[in-house]
Amino acid sequence: MNRLLAALVAVSVSACTLGTEGDVFTSRSLLPVTTTDAGTPCTPEQDRANWPVRVVFVVQNSGAMCIIDPPGSQAQPGFCEMASSMFTPPGQTRPARATVIDSFLNANRARTNFSAALVSWGENPHVVPFVSGSDPSLRIALAELQSTLQKASNLQGGLEAAKALIEQDVLTTAASVRARSRYVVVVLSTGIPFPRCAANDSMTEYASATRPELVWADSFGATTWCNAQNPEVLGFAPGSNLNQNSQLFAAVDGMLALDTQYGLGDVRVFTRLLMNDANIAACGPICQDLFGPQSLAETRSMGTWLLTQLAQRGQGTFVDPGAPSNLTLADIDTSEFTTFCGP
């Protein structure tokens, strides 16, 4: 077992995508956004609150973030405490993922029909339910991202928590309002879940950078972990699948199925890649076994493939912004379904 995985309980381990910065890959649905009720072509401004827009940020908060998107700490001696100070640019006091979400909230805080929720995830998700863009609970949770890095990067848990959050909100919303409610899910991730576990350890071929659609073998060095009792990941049964493509796809499909099941206006899933080539390259020997045996280009390819698939299934878009400092959410559509024509 490699030394970072062996420290899964003591030291944060995650996976991250690597490669050439600046590439942008976009997958955009051609399906138009339409409301499920008749509506009118022009709605008075005072009715704006009756057309809700709810945004769920599903944000990776594993130990790899102290390299990918510093600063970051687990508030205990370990890999991140050793590495974070090495890779945080002078004057940078908070991660880019927290800053860009905070800016997004500021840009939408005046919208009375706007609310947002946060699902941050490492081995398990931490959920802040839907609140207005100016609610302090959301700002506090964003501020705490850099000091609450978890172990592993259980993307499956994050997506399933987001789906449950939306469904819970729908069940407390009147049917007449559901039909004009729009849910926008924004996933910020490396695109490499860790650990991945396979229920079948005897297959003749497993997924790879060139065949990412197949079943993934247990993550590099994680076979012992995958076949043992691990209370760190809630609900995981030893020897079962975890973070396989089918499970991740099912979580996104389940979000979109809520549209039909409850008569919602719309549900979309957008994905954005979190990575930092410069920091990873500068990390040197202490990061040499952090991402598994594949090359950096292969790792990026794997993450790009998965996040693109999730966005396509979610009828949203995937974008690789390069370094996290280039991340923007301004291109994510959070418009209402109607045209507002004044009071």
Of 29-33, 178-182, 277-281, 327-331, minimum mean pLDDT range:
29-33
Give which of 283, 262, 307 is closest to 158, Cα–Cα. 307
**Separation CA 76–CA 31 (nearest Å):** 47
Domain-embedded: residue 169: yes
CB 319 within 8 A of CB 226: no
**Per residue in 211-234, pLDDT tens?**
999 999 999 888 999 999 887 788
* pLDDT value of position 340: 57
CB 139 within 8 A of CB 169: no
Q: Is residue 172 part of a domain?
A: yes
Q: How many residues does the chain have?
A: 343
* Alpha-carbon gap, residue 310 to 163, rounded angstroms: 14
The residue ranges of DSSP E strands in 207-295, in sequence order, are 266-273
Query: Is the pLDDT score of 131 beyond 90?
Result: yes
* Average model confidence (pLDDT) across the chain: 83
60 pLDDT more than 60: yes
What's the burial of 285, exposed, middle or buried (CB within 10 Å: 0-12/13-18/19+)? exposed
pLDDT at 13 > cutoff 60:
no
CB 265 within 8 A of CB 58: no
| Residue with token string 């009715």 | 47
Give the closest residue to 319 by CA, choosing from 92, 17, 14, 53.
17
In a domain, 124, yes or no: yes
Among 326, 96, 52, 274, smallest CA distance to 184 is for 52
Percent of the chain with pLDDT over 90: 56
**Tell me, what's the pLDDT at 21?**
33
Q: Is the pLDDT of residue 289 over 70?
A: no
Say whether pLDDT at 35 is over 90: no
> pLDDT at residue 28 above 80?
no
Domain assignment present for 286:
yes
Most confident among 41-45, 73-77, 276-280 (mean pLDDT): 276-280
In a domain, 167, yes or no: yes
What CATH number should be reported for the domain holding residue 106? 3.40.50.410
The first and second tokens of residue 235, run together, are 């609900």
pLDDT for residue 167 is more than 90: yes
**pLDDT of 100 strictly over 60:** yes
Confidence at residue 320, expressed as pLDDT on a 0 to 100 scale: 95
Q: Provide DSSP, 278-314.
A: HHHHHHGGGGTTSS-SS-HHHHHHHHHHHHHHHHHHT
The reply to whether 339 falls in a domain is no
Q: What is the pLDDT of residue 288?
A: 64
CA dihedral 168, 171, 175, 177 (to 10 degrees): -40
pLDDT value at position 3?
Answer: 38
Phi (first) and psi of residue 153, to 5 degrees: -145, 85
Residue 24's pLDDT band, with cuts at 50, 70 and 90, is very low
Output phi, psi for 44, to 5 deg: -55, 145
Question: Does 259 fall in a domain?
Answer: yes
* Residue at 7 is within a domain: yes
- CA 5 to chain centroid, in Å, comes to 22
Measure CA 29 to chain center: 19
Count of domains observed in the chain: 1
pLDDT tier at 27 (50, 70, 90 boundaries)?
Answer: very low
pLDDT at 12 > cutoff 60: no
Q: Which two three-digit tokens encode residue 54?
A: 């709810």
Q: Calculate mean pLDDT across residues 255-273.
A: 95
pLDDT top residue among 246 and 152: 246
pTM of the shown model: 0.85
Task: Assess whether pLDDT exceeds 80 at residue 32.
Answer: no
pLDDT for residue 7 = 39
Q: Does residue 339 register a pLDDT over 60?
A: no
C-alpha–C-alpha distance, residues 61 and 187, integer Å = 12
Question: CA distances (Å), 272 to each of 98, 148, 149, 253, 304, in order?
Answer: 14, 21, 19, 18, 9
Domain of residue 298, residue span: 3-29+53-326
